Amino acid sequence: MPFPESPRVRYGKNPLVEVVCQLKFPTILRIDAEPPVAFQEKVRHLFPEYRLTQPQLPAGVRLSREVLQMMFGGMGGGSHEFLAGDEKSRVTLARDFVAFTTSNYSEWKDFSETLAIPLAALAEVYTPPYFSRVGLRYRDQIDRKSLGLDGVAWSDLLREEVAGELAHGDVAPDVVRIIREVGLKMPNECGNIRIVHGLEGDGPDPTYMIDADFFIERKVEHGETNDVLDVFNRTAGNLFRWCVKPRLHDAMEPREP
């Protein structure tokens, strides 16, 4: 692994603001051509709300929903969203991908068990032959004030390799914005990681964002997806623990999962 192994923990003050899993597959035009009634019936007990997202049209152009549905195929498609009652989680279905997004992440077991439901529905209703891209994205937002660390220097909370200029006392007080993007390949051709991190917000105490996107772009059979995602999840935990120093780790109230 590119980051050292660390014990699994569940943070009492979880910095995760969003987790997204997206799986791409060869285009299935039937998803555009007809309402996804059978798919909805298989996910509706968890995601009862439905929303149709329409393709973007030029400013000033107004068309009826029926006309837009007829035009989906020629415009690159819209997408179908199935939302949980609290709207904190949703499944998105489009002609070439399915995604599960949540802002209410607790632990990997719960996330993967919920993800299994729309994946099973996709396999049964639309039978994609394989997945061409599998991605898992974690977006953390570290807010010093909410963690009782108001005024603590970022250099005391983040590794120097992550904090960059924020780790240098003569420069750090004057830094108002810093965003970095890093691309990494995972060992044994397990995939790639795109990490975007830095200060977020223009106020006197901005948050620190760590946005890590794990993905693999090749043919992935249905039976492989769990193994691929498990590796991504484990690496994501190791990556985050590598980024933070003990003071920040303790402030987030780690517990055994």
Span 100-153, pLDDT tens digits: 999 999 999 999 999 999 999 999 999 999 999 999 999 999 999 999 999 899
* Cβ contact 11:94 at 8 Å: no
Report which of 119, 131, 70, 69 is spatially closest to residue 92, judged by C-alpha positions: 119
Beta bridge partners of 207: 200
**Rounded-to-integer distance, Cα 221 and Cα 204, Å:** 48
Q: What is the 3-state secondary structure (H, E, C) of the chain?
A: CCCCCCCCCEECCCCEEEEEEEEECCCCCHHHHCCCHHHHHHHCCCCCEEEEECCCCCCCCCCCHHHHHHHHHHHCCCEEEEECCCCCEEEEEECCEEEEEECCCCCHHHHHHHHHHHHHHHHHHCCCCCECEEEEEEEEEECCHHHCCCCCCHHHCECHHHHHHHHCCCCHHHCCCCEEEEEEECHHHCCEEEEEEEEECCCCCCEEEEEEEEEECCCECHHHHHHHHHHHHHHHHHHHHHHECHHHHHHCCEECC
Q: Who has greater pLDDT, 59 or 177?
A: 177
The whole-chain average pLDDT of the chain stands at: 91
And the tokens for 60? 């000033």
Q: pLDDT tier at 93 (50, 70, 90 boundaries)?
A: very high
What is the pLDDT, as a whole number, of residue 111?
A: 97
The least confident of 47-51, 57-61, 69-73, 148-152 is: 69-73
User: Would the pTM of this model clear 0.85, i.e. be above it?
Assistant: yes
Q: What whole-number percentage of the chain has pLDDT above 70?
A: 91
Q: Is the pLDDT of residue 61 over 80?
A: no
Q: Who has greater pLDDT, 60 or 118?
A: 118
